[in-house]
Structure 1
Amino acid sequence: MAASDEVTGDRDPRIDQLAGRRVLVTGGSGFIGSHLTAALVDVGAETHVLSSAVSSVYPHRLTALRSAITLHEGNLTDRTALRAVVRDARPEVVYHLGAYTHVGKSWSRIDECIQTNVQGTVNLLEALDGTGYTRFVNTGTSEIYGAIDIPFHEDDRPAPVSPYAVSKHAAEEFCRLGSTARGWPIVRVRPFNAYGPGQSPDRIIPEVIVRALRGDRLQLTQGRQTREFNHVDDLVEGFLLLGVVEGLEGQLCNLGCGQEVSIQQLVRTILAVMGDPVEAEFGALPDRPIEIWRMYCDATRAQDLLGWRPRLTLEEGLARTIDWYRSELELPTSPFVPGFARGT
């Protein structure tokens, strides 16, 4: 399953406030959303998930949770469907992660970015208006900041460089407006790069791991750009706290470790943890035409308001992730390593 199989026994006790509460997760079949959904089930929340595709194939990341959650089919762009979901779920806490998320492809799918990320967020907020919900956690993205000075701080003026980032910023602004002008109980969060079990194979960490496990060629750019990387379990704990800590309404928080790592350093670390099974070919691919060269956050606000800090070092998190993908590659097929199924 995509969500973490390990249940942490030392979670923050404040998270137990979610036990028995009705919680709605949009985007719950996604990477972070599925791990969040599993954590909510574990804590004892009455967990409802909104997914745009249910009828034909049950979302793979949620299969193991099927008997423990209520799955609602609906699209964020469908106002009628959202009203029905809100009516049926009657959520007290809402984690809004549903979005169009592909940065590169957003240039050719601008309308979808606007409809899903902006109009979809507004539709959900309007469906919830007057229902008595106590907390709406809106998920932004580190991409909102764009190419500005690092480390990124919540008070910085964003300069997004993709349609995806612009649309997420616009959605976030509607949330800010709803909080300040209407008094809606909204908290905004900007999570920084996540990794862990069940991540899409086109992301850098699973791609490097799978190619290394298979002994395939590993062609990369020079890897000069920097990012920070956060294990999904750490980010999920931050999300859970954002749903229960009092007095956060109107706040905007970065969620990340704030430790800058170049892509080249990251790849070398992954391969070292694996025993260097292949050699990375840095410079074999050109840099992207539009690149944010340095990206990491100042997470002081989350530390102060939530008492939250990541628990896992990069090496610890990578070791767990490598073990998970190694197990996936032992299966006849895996949706998380398409094209790399055993025997192909």
Structure 2
Amino acid sequence: MTDQHDAPRRALVTGATGFTGGQLARTLVERGYSVRALVRDKQAAKAHELAAADIELAEGDVGDAAAVSRAAEGMTHIFHIAAVYRSANHPDSTYFRINRDAVAHVLAAAETHGARRVVHCSTCGVHGDVAEIPADEETAFNPGDVYQRSKLAGEDLARQAMADGAPVSVVRPTGIYGPGDDRFLKLFRTVENGTFRMFGSGEIAYHLTYIDDMVQGLILAGEHPAAIGEVFLIGSDRYTTLNELVNKVAATLSVKPPRLKLPVAPLMAAATLCEFACKPVGIDPPLHRRRVAFFTKARAFSVDKAKRLIGFRPEVGLDDGLARTADWYRSMGYLRSSPKAVK
């Protein structure tokens, strides 16, 4: 059951030049929405790609309240996907300006222009390193870095709006991957060329979401009547371990899985020193503590609430999703053009 209003559906998507926002915007067009994207630069290549997909462009920064309000005029739905992700060359204030303050701008614009639904994209990272396996929407917050703290501050605003009766839903994605994304490219490349190293035991839990399933969850959160006033974790049916993930990537690429395991403490110490050396001069360090956290922080969640309340059904399993992702990397020239047989 979804939103059955007869009026035309017009959606504003923030963050549409990014991986998740772009796929969401295109899917909304396919579903009959008129879609507008708030972009910082209409002349950028990513903006041109959106325009070619029949998506209207509104120029402005999501951190600018007036720009957000102009973009929201006439919209029935707002999907707020834009965020500043982890990068050590940003000051903390930048994270809070975008990941917290922009949420306030979106909520105010939605109220001003009478949007029927607002979906705020948060992150499972607000739960941090979870001790409860699998965690759920009621698991205690435990943000571990400025990105997660700023995302939690933004989500706090969205949940307060929900408590005040606004037609808002919050989605907390697990790790999103698939064709079009390059965040997992380093993992694929290093497994393929034999340079990947596991730090720690590799038995830490990890939870992924294929991009098509993520978009399904976001749209359900924006359409289903039962989604209003609710928070949903969105992810695949099952979580995995880093060892299993790496072995599956190796199998997808037809290479031998890596076996060497190294202690994680020296890597974390090196990452800490690297950040402290680079941040004062505005350089993005080659090694971040957040990258080391990939090997140390447990991420495993239940998506039962989204299944029960809004009919969320993950459709792409990990093996299939990794294969599709590898095919896209090959098509882009990021990996070898054909798999190399395991010897």
Category of TM-score, reference length = shorter chain: 0.7 to 0.9
Match of 1:134 among 93, 99, 116: 116
| Structure 2 residue aligned with 1:334 | none
Match of 1:318 among 304, 318, 322: 322
Unmatched tracts of structure 1, length 5 or more: 1-12, 330-336
Matched, 1:105 2:88: yes
Q: How many residues align?
A: 310
| CA displacement, residues 180-226 of structure 1 (integer Å, 9 cap, x when unaligned) | 12x211001101111101113xx3x322323455x363344243432
Distance 1:63 1:259, change over 3 A: same
| Structure 2 residue aligned with 1:58 | 45
CA deviation after TM superposition for structure 1 residue 78, in Å? 1.0
CA deviation after TM superposition for structure 1 residue 273, in Å? 1.8
Match of 2:135 among 149, 152, 157: 152
Counterpart of 2:81 in structure 1: which amino acid? L
| Structure 1 residue aligned with 2:19 | 31
1:15, 1:240 within 8 Å by CA — same for their partners in 2? Answer: no
Match of 2:213 among 222, 225, 234: 234
| Structure 2 residue aligned with 1:186 | 168
- Give the distance between the partners of 2:36 and 2:232, measured in 1 at CA: 25
Instruction: Give the root-mean-square deviation of aligned CA atoms.
Output: 2.7
- Give the distance between the partners of 1:71 and 1:341, measured in 2 at CA: 36
| CA displacement, residues 153-195 of structure 1 (integer Å, 9 cap, x when unaligned) | 11122011111111111111111111212x2110011011111
1:48, 1:69 within 8 Å by CA — same for their partners in 2? Answer: yes
| Structure 1 residue aligned with 2:274 | none
2:3, 2:225 within 8 Å by CA — same for their partners in 1? Answer: no
Could you tell me the TM-score, scaled by structure 2's length? Answer: 0.82
- Give the distance between the partners of 1:315 and 1:269, measured in 2 at CA: 7
- Give the distance between the partners of 1:341 and 1:317, measured in 2 at CA: 18
- Give the distance between the partners of 1:16 and 1:42, measured in 2 at CA: 17
CA deviation after TM superposition for structure 1 residue 260, in Å? 2.7
Could you tell me the TM-score, scaled by structure 1's length? Answer: 0.82
Match of 1:162 among 141, 145, 161: 145
> What is the SS of the residue equivalent to 1:59?
helix
Identity among equivalent positions (%) equals 25
Match of 2:37 among 49, 53, 64: 49
> What is the SS of the residue equivalent to 2:88?
helix
Match of 1:293 among 293, 297, 300: 297
Distance 1:51 1:225, change over 3 A: farther
Distance 1:125 1:284, change over 3 A: same
Counterpart of 1:244 in structure 2: which amino acid? E
- Give the distance between the partners of 2:245 and 2:155, measured in 1 at CA: 30
CA deviation after TM superposition for structure 1 residue 314, in Å? 0.5
CA deviation after TM superposition for structure 1 residue 18, in Å? 10
Unmatched tracts of structure 2, length 5 or more: 270-288, 338-343
Counterpart of 2:313 in structure 1: which amino acid? R
2:122, 2:172 within 8 Å by CA — same for their partners in 1? Answer: yes
> What is the SS of the residue equivalent to 2:254?
coil
1:18, 1:40 within 8 Å by CA — same for their partners in 2? Answer: no
CA deviation after TM superposition for structure 1 residue 261, in Å? 1.6
- Give the distance between the partners of 1:18 and 1:218, measured in 2 at CA: 53
CA deviation after TM superposition for structure 1 residue 249, in Å? 1.6
| Structure 2 residue aligned with 1:171 | 154
| Structure 1 residue aligned with 2:204 | 225
- Which of 277-286 and 253-262 deviates more? 277-286
| Structure 1 residue aligned with 2:272 | none
